[in-house]
Amino acid sequence: MTKPHEQVCALLQEFGLPAVRIKTVSAEVVEFNELFSSLVNERAALERRLWFVEGVLPHIASADRTRWEGAFANRTHAQVHVTFRPIDGPVLDFEMRSFASVGQEKLDRSILCVFISFASPVFERVCQARFSEGRAAERRRIQNALHKGASQQLLGAAFGCKLLAVKVETLNEDLGKEASELAQLVNEAVVELQSVVSSAQN
């Protein structure tokens, strides 16, 4: 019977993602999909079990490789840049993400590596989603700052201007009228700001 984790590479193939599952100690290939094999098939002489060690690791920059090897040893998540340079064709840039999967038995432990092409629609959708999330978070931060900061300060200023207008009016009617108009102007600014924040939140 096929174990659930043995179907992962095939499932990732459906999403257009090259993937390989490797042993935790030797990094020998346990399972892969056709998209992954197409990345390393330039080295057809390599044994399949060595496809990752000899077909992937050499394509990772030194600093990234050191970081990945540390994560591999500790069975933690890692994310590194991999550049494949085929004999014929353009350079292929990927982001490789690796995840530790632990089965019920020690022998079931493995590392799943997924390759996301920098030029693929999947990668573009991931980038766009992250950008949208960041933009939405920044918008919420600005709205919150406007609502709790600038809006409250303007409201206080409008109230202060109104009190000042009442006091000034007893001394000079014209100055009192100007102060009252200023209070009204600030109050309108508060209403407008709150309206903008409210419509942005909706």
So where are the chain's domains? 4-120, 129-201
Q: Which pLDDT tens digit goes with each residue over 139-172? A: 777 777 776 777 777 778 878 888 888 888 888 8
Q: Judge whether residue 104 has pLDDT over 50.
A: no
In whole angstroms, how far apart are CA 119 and each of 58, 92, 115, 137, 185?
21, 9, 12, 26, 53
CATH of 4-120, one of 3.30.499.10, 3.30.450.20, 3.40.630.10, 3.10.129.10: 3.30.450.20
CB 70 within 8 Å of CB 80 = no
Cα radius of gyration rounded to whole Å, the chain: 30
59-76 tens-digit pLDDT: 999 999 999 999 999 989
First-to-final CA distance of the chain: 51
pTM of the entire predicted model: 0.56
**Lowest mean per-residue pLDDT among 20-29, 122-131, 180-189:** 122-131
Lowest-confidence region among 50-59, 69-78, 121-130: 121-130
Structure tokens at 62: 């030194």
